[in-house]
Amino acid sequence: MGFKMGIVGLPNVGKSTLFNALTKTASAQAANFPFCTIEPNVGEVGVPDARLDKLAAIAGSKQIIPTRMTFVDIAGLVKGASKGEGLGNQFLANIRETDAIAHVLRCFEDGDVTHVDGRVDPVADAEVIETELMLADLESIEKRRANLVRKLKGNDKEAQQQDRLLAAAQAMLEDGKPARLVEVDAEDARAWKMLQLLTTKPVLYVCNVGESESVEGNAHSAKVAEMAAAQGNSHVIISAQIEEEISQLEADEAQMFLEEMGLEEAGLDRLIRAGYELLHLETYFTVGPKEARAWTIRSGTAAPQAAGVIHGDFEKGFIRAETIAYGDFIAHNGEQGAKEAGKMRAEGKSYIVKDGDVLHFLFNT
């Protein structure tokens, strides 16, 4: 399980440039005019994780398989998108299929790149997009509640739950706030997710700054940071231009380039890490001579469900999970050393997998 992040923003904020860099492809046509991305572009990248390389080196693994992250480059939204302006309806539908939204915000000054509103104001840009998503949700809720009337008259329990949740979302939206602020009980969590409301998606603001501002950011990104903190959302500072340059270099050259720019890591690493935190995701590993592989799970996942990420039969026939913490695996030079040091544990069905665990599942077929 990886996750799917939709990259959204107004036209000409650097979305497609960032997408090209992240996926190391030129499949998204980065151009200085709105709607150059007519269909959503989808790209997958391996999630960088230095721990995986270290595990593979110790185990002598022939193959290294990182977990995957999917980026969806969604064409530039404009004011009125919820009413079909620009190519609004099509792209709002594409957002529904993602796990999280990355709002790319223009935080750079460049007279050669036109802004759809003729100004650089990332906070205002974020508000335009959020408003369009809220309006689209309101319209969707009104239609869906109208379609539930007949079932409600028949005392349909599922329809009652759905209508109750839609009403809560509607009240929040009519108060000018996104639906993600609605407090949902555990028994309603699945039904709430099934509603697929746009404003329930977690949001990560991506501040696209100029090359010289990639380390500290600027006054524009500082305003975004303040806005994100007030909302309880996250933000990262990235120069899409730098990421595009890095994507064309070999690994050694890329590292030298980053060091020259005063950056500890590529923006992709920061973006993915922020995305993982946003969605409460963790990674566990399976390691052996054949392959070292990373698997993504949600925080709080029990061992049988973690096994099910590999294959459904692993979850159904789960017996136990032989478990070594990442630090112990490294400190004792692999599985055998950890075992001899008493660091391998046999964990049962109630065990909550921890980030970095090295697992071997035993199961009945």
Predicted confidence at residue 113, as pLDDT, reads 60
Query: Do 173 and 91 share a domain, yes or no?
Result: yes
List helix spans (H) across the chain.
Answer: 15-23, 50-59, 88-96, 122-147, 149-153, 157-174, 189-194, 219-231, 240-247, 251-261, 267-279, 303-310, 312-316, 326-331, 335-340
Q: What is the pLDDT of residues 280-299, one digit of tens each?
A: 899 999 999 999 999 999 99
CATH classification at residue 315: 3.10.20.30
Taking 70 as the threshold, does the pLDDT of residue 17 lie above it?
yes
- Domain assignment present for residue 294? The answer is no
Predicted confidence at residue 36, as pLDDT, reads 39
Predicted confidence at residue 38, as pLDDT, reads 41
pTM comes to 0.80
Predicted confidence at residue 220, as pLDDT, reads 95
CATH classification at residue 270: 3.40.50.300
Query: Do 206 and 321 share a domain, yes or no?
Result: no
Q: What is the mean pLDDT of the chain?
A: 86
Q: What is the pLDDT of residues 25-84, one digit of tens each?
A: 544 444 443 333 445 578 888 888 889 999 999 999 999 999 888 888 876 565 654 455
Predicted confidence at residue 87, as pLDDT, reads 46
| 22-26, 109-113, 181-185, 251-255: segment of lowest average pLDDT | 22-26
**Percent residues over pLDDT 90 in the chain:** 52
The residue range of the domain holding 327 is 300-363
Q: What is the radius of gyration, based on Cα positions, of the chain?
A: 23
Q: What is the pLDDT of residues 329-361, one digit of tens each?
A: 999 999 999 999 999 999 999 999 999 999 999
Q: What is the mean pLDDT of residues 181-186?
A: 93
Predicted confidence at residue 263, as pLDDT, reads 85
Domain count, the chain: 2
Query: Do 241 and 305 share a domain, yes or no?
Result: no
- Domain assignment present for residue 289? The answer is no
Query: Do 211 and 338 share a domain, yes or no?
Result: no
Q: What is the mean pLDDT of residues 322-333?
A: 97
Query: Do 177 and 120 share a domain, yes or no?
Result: yes
For 363, the enclosing helix (H) or strand (E) is strand 358-363
List helix spans (H) across 148-266.
Answer: 149-153, 157-174, 189-194, 219-231, 240-247, 251-261
